[in-house]
Amino acid sequence: MRCSTTRDERRPMARQKIAYISRGELDTTLVEQQLAGIDYDLTFQVCMSPGETIEAVKGADLVIGSRVPLTREVIQQMDAARASVTHGHGFDEIDHNAATDGGIVVANCAGFVTEEVSNHTLMMLLGCSRRLNFSQELVRSGAWGRSKAALPGILPTDEAVLGLVGVGNIGRAVARKAKPLGLEIIAHDPYLTPWDAREYGVGLVDSLMEVAEHSDFVSIHTPLNDETRHLISGPFFKAMKPTAYIINVSRGPIIDEKAMIEALQSGEIAGAGIDVFEQEPTPADNPLLKMDNVIVTPHSAGRSDVSGIVGATRVGEEAARVLKGMLPRSVVNPEVRGKANLRLGSRR
């Protein structure tokens, strides 16, 4: 356990307490820089079990988490917290329904890796459309002269349809960047208004199956929650074109991985670009790792030389807003504002 404490010992008011929890050691400097001028105690702890997490969050006004599950069991023991701020764009490690029940705001860092993840999506799309894995293997195996005849099924993007499942910050950036490639863009997102869809140049369709039926590339851009777990499963793959590709840079369990493997093995779809898996790290014997029509990366879509700096800064900014009695900018559970026990000051 490592503790750092601010600043002015002469102030009589009780300091606000921050529990900073992680699955591994982290440098908290960038986060604390955003808290300048706020009187607080910060305790950092590596938490590898629910019991350790429960002990770490007790008495904290604010919980900052990095890859530590905040289950209902843990949240029910958060006896003083009025908010939890999570590193990263995803928030699937937090039971946000339990947090809402407890009057606790959940904030993420939505948008801080939009450029990185949207670029990674397009890299996957172009790699699939140009059969990058297969071409590379031809060269490495010495089949240079036979490469043209051995590369059927390369689809020009200006004749293709990109189907988006979810049109949040990242989905919108993908749509914006895909337009110059000549792709027609359709999407299914029950939370996107028709006027927003027009603004982003996206054709809304009424169902997921329409995305499957009409798309040459399907790209997933939804959060992982009870509504989206295994959202893409066997019937979706059966509805896709046999020449189509699926791309997932969101969260692995949104796709039924077993069903996707079967669809790839049976030829129901042409290939895939996968950055995320149902189990991470994915086992070495995962069939997806052995298919020459599948591009795989190690949950790295959001990484860049600056994304870690931007992410930590955003965490600190959101933490500062909470400790100043303000709502964070990116609230996962806005319905919490109607809870009687929510306090924008201390809950003590």
Q: Which residues are catalytic?
A: 251, 280, 299
How far from the centroid of its chain's Cα atoms is residue 69's Cα? 15
* Among 41, 9, 65, 81, CA closest to 341: 81
Please report how many Cα atoms fall inside a 13 Å half-sphere around the Cα of residue 274, on the Cβ side. Answer: 28
User: Is the Cβ–Cβ distance between 183 and 177 less than 8 Å?
Assistant: no
Q: Cα torsion for 226, 228, 233, 237, to the nearest 10°?
A: 170
d(CA 91, CA 95): 9
Distances (CA, A) of 58 to 65, 74, 82, 124, 240: 14, 9, 12, 43, 49
> Rounded distance, CA 304 to CA 307, Å?
5
Residues 187, 1: Cα–Cα separation, whole Å: 47
